[in-house]
Amino acid sequence: MLLLILILSLNVLRIYSSSLFDFEVAKADGNMISLNDYKGKKAFLIVNVASYCGYTQGHYNEMKLLYDKYKDYGLEILAFPCNDFGQQEPDSNEQIQAFCNAKGAEYPVFGKLKCNANDNTVSSLYNWLMKEAGIERLQWNFNKFLLNEEGKVINYSPQSISVIQMENIIKETIGNLDL
């Protein structure tokens, strides 16, 4: 009985996580990493990415631009490849990494995950992000969640909002910039 209570308690913690730092995710090589390793950053932009989407070129260019501009001030972009929309990320994690490297992505690009499946396979991270942002489902690739230094969701922007359109709120989240 005690074991059952412990197992249920761990599952409840997983469902009711309180910050980004409560999650572990797969890196592109398949090894797990705790997002707690990113503590100390001022702002986090989490994006579900895809290599063969109409939004790919613009979003990757803008993510690189903002990352280059604000990484030294505490911005971390966390990119999560997702094949849930139109099968636009069918490649292996190794191929995705090569694609991202060719696009100049210096931020972490993790292993592929489910961010919008119609079953119970959606990653716990994306379940939490959507719950915190007050949305039921993502509509497409390149949805953006902005989180503060405590790992709390403070902004959600769908694919139709470009990364550059988020620059002011990113600067505000980082705070005290002398640019």
Give Rg (Cα) of the chain: 16
Residue 53 among the catalytic residues: yes
**Distant-in-sequence, close-in-space partners of 95: CB < 8 Å, separation ≥ 6:** none
Catalytic residue, chosen from 53, 82, 100, 115, is 53
**Distant-in-sequence, close-in-space partners of 104: CB < 8 Å, separation ≥ 6:** 60, 64
3-state secondary structure of 24: strand
Residues 30 and 93 sit within 8 Å (Cβ to Cβ): yes
Closest CA to 39 of 171, 150, 170, 126: 150
3-state secondary structure of 33: strand
Give me the active site residues, please: 53
